[in-house]
């Protein structure tokens, strides 16, 4: 029965991705992770070199949904009020009024988020974590759903501000966006070469807020057996105490392991992954599939790891290979 429910409620997913692929070539995994973040209510950080369609993908997804969408280009001179809103004095009425900022939307694209100073990044923390914003003396709830989709460029360091660990932990996923394959890149060139095809193709809106709310209810119905939940705890625990997973050799490479927020994110992401695979139950393979994107930004490596050229992806891969699978 669960499989039939998931099969029925996920029927629109293929249509959504087909609409996005009218504009975006490849990048299926990135699209899936962004959609998983949307249905789980988890924010997504996209990291990749310039020109890999990060902003284009987010823009196109927004065009396929009947959701409010706003974009903020983060710059070094950006102020918290430019994102959250501010208090304005009305001369005619002789009183102060609150002007809401672009954060009051369903989908907020924070483009090049690491170009904004710490005070702007901190101001965004309340919105991301609490789903409400305080302007002056008044606290306003944010619309539902609310999702921050942030992009950052990993290769430019000048004029950038590293995201603090507290804010990184607010992101459900950190997705590494790779270069397209040779065939995909050829398709991109062919599309550009077609006369009259320089403008973005029109896409149809296939998702409503009601559908997203319904999918979230379906996720709660997906079967999540206790051994698989224990597997999540074991994987996250191995990032804190590798010796407990019979991996003492990893201990010198890890300064700080993942927090319980990582376990929650892994739990939610595994359910969403099972949903996209049309299954009414979660398997360990779902956990393994999403673990790198959930843990990548939550495991802090030591100087020794950096000296030996170890990456977080490598550490997570070793953990997934050695932790007992139920």
Task: Report the distance separating Cα 287 and Cα 258, nearest Å.
Answer: 15
Residue ranges of the chain whose pLDDT lies below 70: 1-3, 9, 94, 155-161, 193-200
- Residue 88, beta-bridge partner list: 97
Question: Which of 179, 211, 243 is a domain's end point?
Answer: 211
pLDDT digits (tens, 9 = 90+) for 7-46: 776 777 778 888 888 777 777 888 888 888 888 888 999 8
Statement to judge: residues 20 and 106 lie in one domain: yes
Q: What are the tokens at 266?
A: 């892994």
Question: How much is the pLDDT for 229?
Answer: 92
Tell whether 264 is covered by a domain.
yes
Q: Looking at 164, 185, 211, which one is the last position of a domain? A: 211
- The pLDDT score that the predictor gives to residue 27 is 77
Query: Do 145 and 36 fall into the same domain?
Result: yes
pLDDT at 287: 92
Answer whether residue 200 is part of any domain: no
Strand partners, 273: none
The answer on 226 and 170 residing in a single domain is no
Phi, psi of 77 (to 5 degrees): -95, 10
- Per-residue pLDDT, 231: 93
CA distance 143 to 70: 13
Residue 60 has a pLDDT of 81
Q: Give the CATH number for residue 84.
A: 3.40.50.300
Domain for residue 216, yes or no? no
Give pLDDT tens digits for 243-284: 777 877 788 888 888 889 999 999 999 999 988 888 888 999
pLDDT of amino acid 49 = 76
What confidence score (pLDDT) does residue 2 get? 62
CA distances from 53 to 25, 30, 48, 204 (A): 9, 10, 9, 19
Q: Same domain, yes or no, for 92 and 186? A: yes
Strands (E), 91-209: 95-100, 107-111, 132-135, 138-141, 147-152, 171-176
Structural domain that includes position 295: 222-322
> Based on the domain organization, do 226 and 190 belong to the same domain?
no
Return the exposure string of 60-74: e unless at least 16 CB atoms fall within 10 Å of the residue's CB, then b.
Answer: bbbbbbebebbbbeb
Count of domains for the chain:
2
Q: What pLDDT, on the 0 to 100 scale, is given for residue 285?
A: 93
């Amino acid at each position: 029965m669960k499989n039939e429910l998931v099969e029925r409620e996920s029927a629109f997913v293929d249509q959504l991705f087909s609409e996005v692929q009218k504009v975006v070539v490849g990048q299926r995994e990135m699209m899936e992770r962004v959609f998983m973040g949307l249905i789980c209510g988890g924010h997504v950080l996209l990291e990749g070199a310039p020109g890999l369609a990060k902003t284009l993908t987010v823009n196109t997804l927004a065009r396929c949904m009947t959701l409010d969408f706003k974009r903020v280009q983060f710059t070094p001179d950006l102020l918290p009020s430019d994102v959250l809103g501010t208090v304005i004095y009305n001369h005619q009425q002789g009183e102060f009024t609150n002007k809401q900022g672009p954060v009051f939307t369903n989908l907020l694209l924070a483009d090049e988020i690491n170009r904004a100073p710490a005070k702007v990044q901190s101001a965004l923390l309340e919105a991301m974590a609490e789903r409400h914003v305080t302007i002056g003396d008044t606290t306003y709830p944010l619309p539902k759903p609310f999702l921050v989709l942030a992009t950052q460029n990993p290769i430019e360091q000048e004029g950038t501000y590293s995201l603090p660990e507290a804010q990184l932990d607010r992101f459900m996923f950190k997705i590494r966006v790779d270069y397209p394959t040779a065939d995909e890149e050829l398709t991109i060139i062919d599309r550009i070469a077609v006369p009259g095809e320089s403008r973005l193709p029109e896409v149809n809106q296939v998702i409503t807020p009601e559908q997203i709310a319904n999918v979230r209810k379906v996720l709660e119905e997906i079967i999540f057996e206790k051994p698989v939940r224990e597997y999540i705890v074991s994987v996250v625990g191995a990032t804190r105490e590798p010796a407990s997973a019979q991996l003492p050799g990893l201990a010198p490479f890890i300064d700080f392991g993942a927090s319980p927020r990582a376990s929650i994110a892994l739990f939610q992401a595994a359910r969403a992954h099972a949903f996209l695979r049309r299954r009414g139950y979660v398997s360990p393979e779902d956990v393994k599939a999403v673990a790198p994107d959930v843990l990548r930004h939550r495991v802090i490596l030591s100087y020794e790891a950096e000296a030996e050229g170890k990456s977080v992806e490598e550490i997570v891969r070793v953990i997934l290979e050695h932790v007992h699978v139920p």
